[in-house]
Structure formats: structure tokens, C-alpha cells
Amino acid sequence: MFDIEPVSLVISLVIITLFSAPFVIYKRTQSQKIKAQSLFLEQLETGNNLKFDQSEKWRDLYFIGLDSFRKILVYVKFGPENTIHHIDLTKATDVKLLKMEREVKVDGRALNVIDNLTLKIESHGEKRETILLEFYDCELFSDNMGELPIIQKWEKTVKPILKNNPSQVKKNVLI
């Protein structure tokens, strides 16, 4: 049969533990981060009397949610200090998708590379305000993982709400 030396067994177990420890630690910190974000979003929803009927999270960094009944859009960019935008869509006048891209030559072919995706929301009220909601930034991520369809979806979701705003209806009547 096999004869296993205790010293070899201990060394093997130590090497396996050292190899797997970073993966276990990373998974545990990611789980804690996701739980903290979920708890933060629940508190945000209950603290502001909101009910998100549409919401989206991506990259463990961004969140956007819409309360269609109250017409409030909430955007959160998680980080050391969370960036939070509460946007009252009844005061919003326009929404636009801003896509910054550059042309790169690869093997003699021209390819467009997306550098930034931002949703621009303009609103009126006491003062005119422009809010920029970042969906993708090439400085933070090396690749684009489906942010373009996400931002297009949210632009299509918000536009009809803005079209039915009293300020938009008055503007359309005047034209």
C-alpha cells in the first residue's frame, strides 16, 4: 500500500491552503460587499418611501431604479463615498445617451472603442440642472460588458415618462 510521510502531508496541506486562501478571502469580501449594497438599497427604498418597479445593478458598482408611480429615478454609484442621485422625472425635460468613442486601427481595420457611456438628464425647477449618470468608464474597466444595451434600455424607459410631463405637454402645444 501507500506509505505517506507526515512531513510531506503537512507541507502539501500548507501549500494547498496558501494557494486557496486568496480565492476564499476574495469570495468572502465580495459577498460582504454585495450584502452591504443590498442593505443600503433596501434602506434607501424604505427611507424615501419608494418602490422600484424597474431596477438594474451591474459591475457591483452601479445601480439604477425607477419608481414609476412617483416618477422618481434613483442612481447610485457605489464606492468609498456612494454617489446618489434622486431625480424627480416630473421636473425633467430631456434625456440623452452620451457615447464617447474613439477609432482604433487593428490589423489595418478601423474599430470603434467605447470610452464612456453616460445618461444625461436635464431638468428645470428653481434652477436649470444637468445630471450625468455614468454607466461605463474605460478608466475603471478594461472592457465593456453589456453596458450599451443597459443604457439604451434606460433611455427608452425614461423618454416616455418625460413626454407625458406637464411641462412637455405645454411645450408640444405651443409648437
Domain ranges of the chain: 48-174
- Mean of per-residue pLDDT scores for the chain: 87
pLDDT reading at 171 higher than 70: no
Percent of the chain with pLDDT over 90: 43
Instruction: Enter the pTM of the model.
Output: 0.80
Give the number of other Cβ atoms within 10 Å of residue 126's Cβ: 6
Which amino acid appears at position 86 of this protein?
H
State how far the Cα of 171 lies from the Cα of 118, in Å rounded to an integer: 26
pLDDT in tens, 40-92: 999 988 898 899 999 999 988 999 999 989 999 999 999 888 899 998 888 88
Q: Who wins on pLDDT, 166 or 48? A: 48
Burial class, 65, CB count within 10 angstroms (exposed 0-12 / middle 13-18 / buried 19+): buried
Complete DSSP assignment for 3-45: ---HHHHHHHHHHHHHHHHHHHHHHHHHHHHHHHHHHHHHHHH
Q: Hey, CA dihedral for 51, 56, 62, 67, is it positive or negative?
A: negative
Burial class, 136, CB count within 10 angstroms (exposed 0-12 / middle 13-18 / buried 19+): buried
pLDDT-derived band at 167 (thresholds 50, 70, 90) equals low
Closest CA to 60 of 23, 25, 85, 32: 32
pLDDT at 168: 55
Beta carbons of 41 and 35 less than 8 angstroms apart: no
- ∠ CA(107), CA(113), CA(115), 5° rounding? 150
